[in-house]
Amino acid sequence: MSRRPGARQLEGSVSLITGGGAGIGRATALLFAEEGAAVVVADRDAVAALDVADEIAAEGGTALGLHVDVADEQSVRDLVDAAVARFGKLDSAFNNAGIAPPGAAVQDINAEDWDLVQRVNLRGVWLCLTYELKHMLARGTGSIVNSASVAGLVGNPGSAGYSAAKHGVIGLTRTAAAEHGRHGVRINAIAPGLTGTEMVRRLMAEGVIDPETATARMPLGRLAEPREIAEAALWLASPRSSFVTGSVLTVDGGETAV
């Protein structure tokens, strides 16, 4: 975790990151800590969350690793309460936890797979947003970033459940932003393109994603690095985006431009 020169963007703040044990969430937790935040690293894999928290602490940062099941209301409530109890406040949050179901055409989707991806990727974001807002609204300040996807902006053949959930995240983000901008809380979303995470590489190995086809349609011609998505989350979470709310920041190598 290298330190960057200059004033740190999140100095003295407290950030909560779900899905923080791996991939984009891990990269964001490390970056937020570099930028001066005390980071609550939450993941359904408690060991992974603790490992990232330990990694931050080893570099001189402050972090707390916690288990969360974002589809379970009590688990989310306990997570946010624990974060505030430990650090006294919550300044920003990155609702990043999500799953990718097996690929299937609309008519072939298993109902259980459909329900699971909605519970985690949409209900989970809503639950996190709900309990984060309770604390932020009481203080009259805060920034929340929700993880959407380019699949939330365009059709995503073979992954209708995932695409539907991510479209829902964008609608939820915009509505919440419209409700709470005057209360001092900003709410935005990120729409990453294909990123070199463990989940994406698994889908490539399973044949769900063809890497050559996927990168061929991107003007930049490659997958994103998790750190590149984390940088976008940092900007939205920080005061540098102080006049931005209700927006969807697309970080996709130009995929949706063509």
The answer to whether residue 3 sits within a structural domain is no
pLDDT at 3 (0 to 100): 54
Confidence class of residue 4 from pLDDT cuts 50, 70 and 90? low
Q: Which of 66, 22, 30 is nearest to 233 (CA)?
A: 30
Of 162, 232, 245, 250, the active-site residue reads 162
Chain mean pLDDT for the chain: 94
φ, ψ at 110 (rounded to 5°): -70, 130
Which domain covers residue 162, as residue numbers? 14-257
Q: Kindly report the pTM of this predicted structure.
A: 0.94
Q: What is the pLDDT of residue 60?
A: 97
**Residue 13, C-beta contacts closer than 8 angstroms, at least 6 positions apart:** 36, 37, 38, 91, 92
CA nearest neighbour of 23 among 9, 4, 2, 44: 44
pLDDT digits (tens, 9 = 90+) for 186-231: 999 999 998 988 888 887 887 777 878 888 889 999 999 999 999 9
162 catalytic residue (yes or no): yes
| Helix residue ranges per DSSP H, the chain | 23-34, 46-58, 73-87, 111-118, 124-139, 160-180, 198-205, 211-216, 226-237
For the cut 70, the answer to whether the pLDDT of residue 2 exceeds it is no
**pLDDT tens profile 41-74:** 999 999 999 999 999 999 999 999 999 999 999 9
- Kindly state whether residue 250 falls inside one of the protein's structural domains: yes
Task: Tell me, yes or no, whether 96 lies in a domain.
Answer: yes
In the chain, how many domains are there?
1
Looking at the domain assignment, is residue 221 inside a domain? yes
Here the CATH number for the domain that contains residue 133 is: 3.40.50.720
Residue type, 203: L
In the predicted model, is pLDDT for residue 174 greater than 70? yes
Model confidence pLDDT, tens digit, residues 121-156:
999 999 999 999 999 999 999 999 999 999 999 998
Residue 197: both structure tokens together: 């995470």
Q: Let me know if residue 4 belongs to a domain.
A: no
Q: Is 5 among the domain residues?
A: no
